[in-house]
Amino acid sequence: MIKFLDLYKQDKNLHKSILNKIDKLFKKGDFILGNEVSSFEKNFSKFSGSKYAIGCANGTDALTMALSSLDLPRNSEVIIPAMTYCSTAFSVLKANLKPVLVDTDFLKSTISINELKKKISKKTKVILPVHLYGSVANLTEIKKIIGNKKIYLIDDCAQAHGAFEEISNKRSKKKIGSIADISCFSLYPGKNLGAYGDAGIITTNNKNFYNKLRKLRNLGSEKKFIHELVGYNSRLDTIQAIVLNAKLKNLSKYNLQRQKIAKYYNQNIINSKITKINYSKYCVFHQYIILVKDRARLIKIFKKKKISFGFHYPYAINQLRVFKDYFKNKRYKNAEKLAKESISLPIDPNLSSQKIKFITKTLNEF
């Protein structure tokens, strides 16, 4: 059986040190927002190239609190891509704002810049691109579009830990998490950097946002019983911070492995029935997606050959049942094509070359 992601194998060499630290934590007892949380926030801030980082309970809360921190008028418009996980859209609604969908580019997973320009209105207060599959949206171009307009840039980095944006005119690159006004990361177990439960983190270079988000994640409080804001109960617990601090050390190495596997797939999957999508230059390949017309037949072959697979995601946002009436009669052809034809291949950084070749051979014979 080829697993989609083998977390046990990936983290096996860390288990002893993690358990030793948890044992010490049991004696100390600082289970919520303990010293390891502060340590992880500093380490992740340094890793992402941002000035500040705020741990929280999960990626959805990260997005919701980031939007709430802006104090926008109710039903202000937030532009998001039509292809993303439901959390991106839910966070907009939970912050009492209005999601506006924009299609992705053809054969790309990121928001279309041309379509984005058409959707900006006087009500637009936030542009919220998603670095889907670890492929980076064009933040530099989005910032140019924003210009002097009173529009915030918040990016959903749930699948882009360690990714860079190419700054082509300067022949340089900049780390995701350090570019937008506020950046939001999920640390769900299956992410490139994942906890052993729910967790999230927010980064920013703005001290005012930092101070406000620290209060928002802790019921509006910095000091016990002193509540200055209507906040959330969204704290990163110390056990997860211990796990994340340990795993952060391996993140760059494992991202490099993902990139090597993706390069092999790019060069060696050769089948006219399979369409490969285009990823950004410094993509970290949280997922590797291919498109196939007859997806049902490929699924049968994968099951027979015991190759695990995934869907990211089988529905565009406008196709989700919960939004049946919200985006009624609206179509987003590129996002819907990804939903209908995409299948996610195993890209576990510990996949052996033998297994990668077996997956590729299976695809070429499909």
CATH code (residue 201): 3.40.640.10
Same domain? For 75 and 89 the reply is: yes
Same domain? For 269 and 149 the reply is: no
Q: Is the dihedral of CA 68, 69, 72, 78 positive or negative?
A: negative
pLDDT of res. 154: 99
Mean pLDDT throughout 177-205? 98
Dump pLDDT digits (tens) for 25-47: 999 999 999 999 999 999 999 99
Same domain? For 195 and 334 the reply is: no
The β-bridge relationship of strands 200-204 and 52-56 is antiparallel
Indicate the pLDDT class of residue 172, thresholds 50, 70 and 90.
confident
Would 224 be classed as within a structural domain? yes
Dump pLDDT digits (tens) for 1-30: 999 999 999 999 999 999 999 999 999 999
State the distance between the two ends of the chain, measured CA to CA, in whole angstroms: 19
Q: Is the dihedral of CA 45, 47, 48, 50 positive or negative?
A: positive
Mean pLDDT throughout 243-260? 98
Same domain? For 305 and 185 the reply is: no
Same domain? For 25 and 111 the reply is: yes
Coil, strand or helix: which one is 148?
coil
Mean pLDDT throughout 50-59? 98
Give the CATH number, domain containing residue 301. Answer: 3.90.1150.10
Mean pLDDT throughout 254-281? 98
pLDDT of res. 326: 92
Would 2 be classed as within a structural domain? no
Q: How many domains does the chain have?
A: 2
Q: Which two tokens stand for residue 23?
A: 């044992």
Mean pLDDT throughout 281-296? 97
Indicate the pLDDT class of residue 170, thresholds 50, 70 and 90.
confident
Percentage of residues in the chain having pLDDT higher than 70: 100
Would 158 be classed as within a structural domain? yes
* Contact (CB, 8 A) for 202 and 65: yes
State the residue for tokens 């927002």: 33
Mean pLDDT throughout 216-242? 97
Burial class for 121, CB neighbours closer than 10 Å (0-12, 13-18, 19+): exposed
Would 1 be classed as within a structural domain? no
pLDDT of res. 296: 97
Percentage of residues in the chain having pLDDT higher than 90: 97
Mean pLDDT throughout 101-128? 98
Mean pLDDT throughout 197-223? 97
Same domain? For 87 and 209 the reply is: yes
pLDDT of res. 35: 96
Contacts of 256 (CB under 8 A, 6+ apart): none
The residue range of the domain holding 306 is 250-364
> Chain-wide mean pLDDT for the chain?
97
Would 25 be classed as within a structural domain? yes
Pick the closest to residue 185 from 163, 168, 215 (CA basis): 163
Mean pLDDT throughout 171-175? 90
pLDDT of res. 131: 98
Last residue of a domain, one of 206, 231, 246: 246
Same domain? For 335 and 295 the reply is: yes
Would 65 be classed as within a structural domain? yes
The β-bridge relationship of strands 172-175 and 182-186 is unpaired
Other C-beta atoms lying within 10 Å of the C-beta of residue 117: 12
Coil, strand or helix: which one is 95?
coil
Last residue of a domain, one of 229, 246, 263: 246
Same domain? For 222 and 139 the reply is: yes
Same domain? For 196 and 304 the reply is: no
Would 196 be classed as within a structural domain? yes
Would 203 be classed as within a structural domain? yes
Q: Which two tokens stand for residue 124?
A: 């637009």
Residue 171: pLDDT over 90:
no
Q: Which two tokens stand for residue 54?
A: 């705020």
Rounded to two decimals, what is the model's pTM? 0.97
Residue 169: pLDDT over 80:
no
Indicate the pLDDT class of residue 324, thresholds 50, 70 and 90.
confident
* Contact (CB, 8 A) for 355 and 9: no
Same domain? For 125 and 270 the reply is: no
Q: What is the largest CA-CA distance in the chain?
A: 65
Indicate the pLDDT class of residue 161, thresholds 50, 70 and 90.
very high
Q: What backbone torsions phi and psi does residue 349 show, to the nearest 5 degrees?
A: -60, -15
Same domain? For 228 and 345 the reply is: no
Please give the sequence-ordered ranges of beta strands (E in DSSP) within the chain, or none if there are none.
52-56, 77-81, 98-102, 124-127, 152-156, 164-167, 172-175, 182-186, 200-204, 221-223, 226-227, 274-276, 288-292, 342-345
Residue 168: pLDDT over 80:
no
Distance CA 357, CA 351 (A): 10
Mean pLDDT throughout 171-196? 97
Same domain? For 212 and 324 the reply is: no
Mean pLDDT throughout 185-189? 98
Q: Which two tokens stand for residue 248?
A: 């952060």
Last residue of a domain, one of 221, 246, 271: 246
* Contact (CB, 8 A) for 196 and 243: yes
User: DSSP labels for 285-322?
Assistant: -S-EEEEES-HHHHHHHHHHTTB--B-S-SS-GGGSGG
Which helix (H) or strand (E) element contains residue 296? helix 295-304
pLDDT of res. 159: 98
Residues, the chain, total? 366
